[in-house]
Amino acid sequence: QVQLVESGGGVVQPGRSLRLSCAASGFTLSSCNMHWVRQAPGKGLEWVALIFYDGSDEYYADSVEGRFTTSRDSSKNTLYLQMNSLRAEDTAVYYCAREYGDGSAFDIWGQGTMVTVSS
């Protein structure tokens, strides 16, 4: 069964760091582009980051550029999002999502993990 399971969310103070994980099963991360998408409470979806299937490149939204880094561990088939210098506006449910083979959509989503940045 193709599945993504996020973990690592929680409550963190502004300026601190947090690392999210996204464990994949039923497929190999190294065969797909993978993304992070977030959703602030009561708001819409916001794309956060992309890592290419071969790890050759990454792209980030302006709002997180320089603070967030995505990576993956092929041996664990797990995707990561390292979030540094967290701000209140980073409070959201964070989803990892698989990019469909033709690059046109996100076809598999995790259940999400909540990150709350608050003092």
Partner 1 sequence: QAGLTQPPSVSKGLRQTATLTCTGNSNNVGNQGAAWLQQYQGHPPKLLSYRNNNRPSGISERLSASRSGNTASLTITGLQPEDEADYYCSAWDSSLSVWVFGGGTKLTVL
Residues that bind partner 1 in the complex, under the rule CB under 8 A? 35, 37, 44-47, 50, 59, 61-62, 95, 100, 102-107, 109-112
Contact assessment for residue 49 and residue 59, using Cβ atoms and an 8 Å cutoff: yes
Pairing of strands 113-117, 10-12: parallel
Choice between 19 and 43, CB closer to partner 1:
43
Rounded (5°) CA angle 42-46-49: 145
Residue whose CB is less far from partner 1, 30 or 61: 61
Residue number with CB closer to partner 1 (44 or 66): 44
Report the nearest approach of partner 1 to the CB of residue 9 (Å).
14
CA R_g for the chain: 13
